[in-house]
A and B are shown apart, each in its own frame.
Chain A
């Protein structure tokens, strides 16, 4: 084969590869993979199913040990995506509160718990509970993600310096200024008096809404 033929073959290969990449780029978009789709896949991996049955016989996951357990939850006032200040105390006036510390829109598992809560939000609301999601994401970033993936049916609050996350033990600042801090996922159930009655922290999001709903149901009908 002549060198010209080889060059043609190579050029055709390059064109095909470039075309494939362009198609992939256009399909994924400039923001990378679809986070909502990836979060759905993450929930599937974790065995999440929307709640559609009676929970009276469900055995909830027990609380973990936590220094705040049984104590009044640290108060906070954070800003939601509309820039409105949201005091925890206001949410507690309406009943129990589920506080979720998530990792922001940075990866599928970071945000997957919020998608799971969104699917079951009517169940939480029917039990008089408020869900508050907190991350270090700025309101502008959350708003931008809402435009991409849709808004959640509960307030998503900004804790830019992780100050509230520190109070709830889901963020541990670095030892020295400039050091990296450690962040955990965290879910807390507060009763209507503002006491922490259930807590779960860890490297993964807590996606068992059945547990949270069962706890809320027992609070309502002890």
Chain B
């Protein structure tokens, strides 16, 4: 059910009319039913429904088990790893083909928003095991994982604030001014996604029809307008759901903070898809860094750099299932770990204060922004175009050439 469809307009108007008619329990049920209806419009077959049910119940039982144990046991780790493998199979990650052949990928299961469900599940399981989730119940867990507000593409709200707001839904009353502010976010989101983003996507081609016949110049314009297209599309979508969330009674976290003014690739990830970056920090980078430091505490810098590389390699790979996205991950991994390495190197040689002065210098800052913008625009080439056949052919030729 696309957000610009008539069906969605009917769906959301019906929801907003029915939702405030009752108290806490009513609103909770309406939200769950609405989320189920929204999800049902994307489910293609009964097998997908059965798989989704298994994923939801499995995650809930794992969280309950973890909470009872009070720590992350080997069983919990195995379950998380199993969930990631199931995710890779259901999403048909091409990287599995050389390992297992394509037999595992020949299925018809398709679950919309599955990657965001997985992020939320891992967060709930880990936090429940670490006792940082005070209580967990099936209905709020179900609403948290499946909420139509954030099902498709985040932002990734944490369970703790979600459950608090979930329990206060009955008290939620929105003032006219807050409603207008929320509506303004929604309207701005619609303009960003459906007016500005397509304009950015089409600009290189429409402009070339009028003034620029050169395909090279067209590519240069596309190099800079495509990142703008992605930004307006994604940030606009987030604006719509943040606004809808405020009307319903959820404070969905912000996901963007002027990302194209970032001064290095790590800074970019602190400003772009912020909730994903925070998730990666908490559930990939920090556990890896801690585990490595427990094994060998003598090389904190090395582990930090390796940790950033692995974290952002995964971030890139998550964007898509083909080999092209593996290359995207490598680009992000190299970018983030190089930025950290450079920061640590300058700090080690000249001291923290000198680094701070260097980093905040106006000229350095301006050059850094331009370089980072070009780095990100370059990485987006691998999102816009699938270079998998060329990359695979190159790897095959290199291996053949080497033997």
Answer yes or no: are A and B bound together in one complex: no
| B residues at A contact (CB < 8 Å) | none
